[in-house]
Amino acid sequence: MGFLTEEEIAELVPSELLPHRTPIPTQIVSSDEYTPPPQSERQKEVEARLLAMADELGGRQGLSRRAFFQSAAGMAAGFVALNETFGAVFDASRAEAATPDMAGERAAALKDQFIMDMHTHFLRDDTRLENFVRSREAVGKAGWNPALVGKPQTLEDLKFNNYFKEIYLDSDTKIALISSSPSEIPRDWFLTNEMMIDARDRVNREAGARRMFAHAIFTPGWDGWLDHLEGSLQRKPESIKGYTVGDNTNKDEARHPWFMDDEAVTYKAYELCVKHGIKNVCVHKGLFPRATAERYPHLLAHADVHDVGKAAKDWPQLNFIIYHAGYRHAAGGRAEDGWREFAETGRVSWVSDLAEIPEKFGVRNVYADVGQLFAQSVVAEPRLAAALMGILGRGLGYDRVVWGTDAVWTGSPQWQIEALRRLEIPEDMQRQYGFTPLGAAADGPVKTAIFGGTNARLYDVDIGRRSDIGPDRDRFALIKEEYERQGPARSNLRYGYVSGAVDWSAFA
């Protein structure tokens, strides 16, 4: 199976047990599908700077570390720490971190920004991915969260309820798309197509507005796959999604990898999309570092983006949204590898290849989703995150780069939202590589398009008529307003595992 073994997991630590709930992650968190890299020396430096600011600046404000980290000033401090460690990449200052009113005013001014996160997850109740539950039980046994002590944990506790809180209450996300991952082992689908549609319908019914969209997963070449897809499309998902490696969860079981430009097989899915009025085809690409390629060499050719261009050219009536933008150096790789490759060559596998498709194939229907690409670069190697955005903007155009976070694996997406709001491509990189700036304003035209404008266009959403950002608030907006009046308690938790090399003295 593609999961880590019990022996491998024994060497890791549940990420909920980390001693410091910092507003931004200070090391890579993984699911039980791959081993996370150890905390780098510079990530340790970021963490040390952030802890020092919490003690100094938070102490002046009469706040504990945890309370400071939950505040807007604490979020600003996270990006100050990154700037001081890696060089100025983010719009953040010590003045903002030291002044709660300044930080709070900025956060309040941006809270209604339209953010459409079309790449989110939670797990089904009967999943056998029990390690997610075990890690939560460990939190209770350790006594760090009194609410969990002695309480049996379920995936409903861990996933859907937590998903709702962290997406719709703890972040500025207005619309989210629930996605899944298929497996040759039926029980190991994150969610079935039916479960995704049911979740979407339940959320939208309770909200009184369209707050959740849903994928239908398609699996070219699997037994009965076309009938299954057609049945799913009859329930009107907003888009479809596929994994060209076949089974990403259990790669040892991946018997049906496929290519996007397979005229005999995959094109039948596109025909069904046209028939049912679906115009957005999302495809998982990348997240296939060298160690994974060595373990699964037969899947390597299916993980890159060489098959995107022809499919896009042959099907101009469809939009091809490439998840993770094909970024290779994640899910077990290291951001340092991506930065080293860029510094030496000016390219990043396979993001540069994706960005060159419009010019090579004469197409304008290829889009890049930044899920995991952004999360696993922006706090580990911020200049790499800037380079990745610059590469995509230069090749695809920023109007073809779309927002996705892969939350809630990485916790509430608010830290990623703040990272993009504050990120700018350094001027030296702009000059050397011809990168277009993202713009200093958090709500400037480029960032506005990435956060929601382009996704709204792709999914036919009229932003001007959204009840969650106008005066006529929907139920979720009212719930969030009350939540904020009571004093929000963003957990800053991430869900999964970190390297076992943790400094436990920090608990003292």
Domain ranges of the chain: 6-111+490-507, 116-124+155-465
Q: Find the DSSP H helices in 327-451.
A: 335-345, 351-355, 357-361, 375-378, 382-395, 414-422, 427-433, 445-448
Structurally, what CATH architecture does the domain formed by 116-124+155-465 represent?
Answer: Alpha-Beta Barrel (3.20)
pLDDT along the chain (508 residues), means of 10: 58 62 77 71 92 92 90 93 95 94 93 95 66 48 46 52 86 96 91 94 92 97 97 97 95 96 98 98 96 94 98 98 96 91 98 98 98 91 97 98 89 92 97 97 97 97 75 82 76 58 41
CA 301 to chain centre: 24
d(Cα 477, Cα 207) in Å, to the nearest integer?
A: 8
d(Cα 468, Cα 115) in Å, to the nearest integer?
A: 11
Residue 213: strand, helix, or coil: strand
pLDDT of residue 157: 43
Hey, what are 267's tokens?
A: 């094109």
pLDDT of residue 348: 98
Hey, what are 404's tokens?
A: 């996705």
Among 503, 489, 496, residue whose Cα is nearest residue 165: 489
d(Cα 407, Cα 490) in Å, to the nearest integer?
A: 14
pLDDT of residue 491: 62
pLDDT of residue 227: 98
pLDDT of residue 5: 60
pLDDT of residue 125: 63
Hey, what are 256's tokens?
A: 């049906």
pLDDT of residue 26: 79
d(Cα 467, Cα 458) in Å, to the nearest integer?
A: 19
